[in-house]
Structure 1
Amino acid sequence: MKPGLALAALVMLWCGVALADSAPVLNYRVVASYPHDPSAFTQGLIFIDGRLYESTGNYGHSSLRRVDLETGRVEQEIRLAPNLFGEGLIYWRGRLVQLTWRERLGIIYNAKTFERRETFQYPGEGWGLTHDDRHWIMSDGTDELRFLDPETRNVVRRLKVRAGKRPVHRLNELEYIDGSIWANVWRSDHLLRIAPDSGQVTAVLDLTTLYPAGERESPEAVLNGIAHDAATGRLFVTGKYWPRLYTIVIEIAEP
């Protein structure tokens, strides 16, 4: 995105959302690129203590895996049952928590062994998942984010996401970074920065040139995968069926 472009001029026509002109336009630069399994239908991505973890989807192909960042090689993997569709993923106090799409089932694993420890239920669909150290934050493809109590797994708060006064639908993969919620919008190459107190979109990052749509082998190969390395500030992004995973640095454009 060009520096200084008014955010109000950026309109995502496919979902009818005009983004608020009070939010800054963000630029990015690629600082590294790594191999990524092109058969992985990426649904959730996290980077914890130097290790990359990924949740993949599709019935009969869903998995939880630990991946070597440098080579893209799957180091450890557990396959989900054929009737489960893997979705969002978080690390929580020595456990990995994975959502499923329409099965209303969350699965909790031992983070080291991938041993399945317990499951829990939730209403509606499961899409993206992140946390703010107090609550699990969950998307379901609508304009609403749900905050769950990690102990009871009950919804304690609902947050409507808005660009100005207009709802932003298809919220998908999530990542909590420096006090803000970052969300990928399904079938879009945009990342949105969302204020967790108000639900307002405070910035947009256009990644359409990162892996141009014309170079992708499938219409399903959309952006979906955000992982933040808290130790270094690195941000990793990839997508479904993408052959590469990128490290980017986000920059705020000069006025």
Structure 2
Amino acid sequence: MLHKLCLLFALTLPCAAAPIYGYKIIAKYPHSTDSYTEGFFYLNGLFYEGIGLNGHSGIVVTQPETGIPVQRFDLPSKYFGEGIIDWGPDLLQWTWQSHTGFVLDRFSLRIVSQFHYDGEGWGITRSAKELITSDGTATLRFRNPDTFDETRHIVVKDGPKTIDQLNELEYIKGEIYANVWHSDRIARISPIDGHVIAWINLTGLLLEDQRVNAESVLNGIAYDAKKDRLFVTGKQWPTVFEIKIIPKSK
């Protein structure tokens, strides 16, 4: 209700910031420090991961318990891989600044087709009907999964403050979860109007001495809908963490 009042009386009513939640570690899984994580999701007992960096980009599919790859796809070296998502029998991966995306058969990881888009590619997730993408700004774009054309967009705000640098995405129980680049927080966003419903503060999840460099930031959210499990990781992190969201201690 407060958010609706903020929209109606934005000129006179100060809007409260979204509540902040903490976390509890439930389990840890191995993750390759060679993986510069740009996309991440869970499907049928496996982690699917989009990997970035020119010359190292592609998709790797791993067994969570062992971290052992069972499939791998390598992009040509000129492409910097970004977000990935499944759609039917296919996988979609787009790239950072090349304006080129790829549709792959999910079972063989062979390229089926390519597609073009304007702007930068960062994260991708999906609802049952739409793709949802980020481009490093505060705008999330909803797209037709068959054409990749934009159908609508939302601007993400926490109260009156615009939240940019939105990166890897995951659609969970009707909300969009988004990493914020170079931040240890995940935003839970309304897909209707873009307001931040809540924050998850993951400060301290990975010790600083376990990070490869300054770019080894939190980035990667996956959800197991069948068992209601939430996983997070980061670029070149040694671990995937299964976490539970809890009220933050004062």
Shift of 1:150: 1.1
Are 1:118 and 2:113 matched, yes or no?
yes
Shift of 1:166: 1.5
**1:172: which partner in 2?**
167
Shift of 1:254: 8.4
Alpha-carbon distance in 1 for matches of 2:17, 2:236:
35
Alpha-carbon distance in 2 for matches of 1:173, 1:164:
22
Shift of 1:27: 2.0
Output one character per residue of 1:69-110: Cα deviation in whole Å (capped at 9) or x when no partner.
111111110110000011001111111111110011111111
**1:44: which partner in 2?**
39
Seen in structure 2, the aligned counterparts of structure 1 residues 215 and 65 have a Cα distance that, compared at 3 Å, is closer
Are 1:129 and 2:147 matched, yes or no?
no
Unmatched runs of 5 consecutive residues or more in structure 1: 1-19
Shift of 1:21: 3.5
SS across alignment from 1:218: coil
- Identity score, percent: 42
Alpha-carbon distance in 1 for matches of 2:94, 2:137:
16
Output one character per residue of 1:97-153: Cα deviation in whole Å (capped at 9) or x when no partner.
111100111111111110110111111000000011111000000000010011221
Alpha-carbon distance in 2 for matches of 1:151, 1:99:
14
Unmatched runs of 5 consecutive residues or more in structure 2: 1-14
Contact 1:161 1:194 in 2 (8 A): yes
**1:181: which partner in 2?**
176
Output one character per residue of 1:37-85: Cα deviation in whole Å (capped at 9) or x when no partner.
0111011011011111111000000011111111111111011000001
**1:148: which partner in 2?**
143
Q: TM-score, normalised by structure 1?
A: 0.89
**2:77: which partner in 1?**
82
Shift of 1:179: 0.4
Alpha-carbon distance in 1 for matches of 2:59, 2:102:
10
Alpha-carbon distance in 2 for matches of 1:224, 1:253:
21
Query: Which structure 2 residues correspond to residues 147-226 of structure 1 after superposition, within 5 A?
Result: 147-226=142-221
Contact 1:138 1:147 in 2 (8 A): yes
Shift of 1:253: 4.9
SS across alignment from 2:227: coil
Q: TM-score, normalised by structure 2?
A: 0.91
Output one character per residue of 1:136-176: Cα deviation in whole Å (capped at 9) or x when no partner.
00000000001001122111101100111121110000000
**1:11: which partner in 2?**
none
**2:5: which partner in 1?**
none
Are 1:33 and 2:38 matched, yes or no?
no
**1:93: which partner in 2?**
88
**2:236: which partner in 1?**
241
Shift of 1:214: 4.4
Q: Aligned pair count?
A: 236
**1:14: which partner in 2?**
none
Alpha-carbon distance in 2 for matches of 1:145, 1:224:
17
Alpha-carbon distance in 2 for matches of 1:75, 1:96:
16
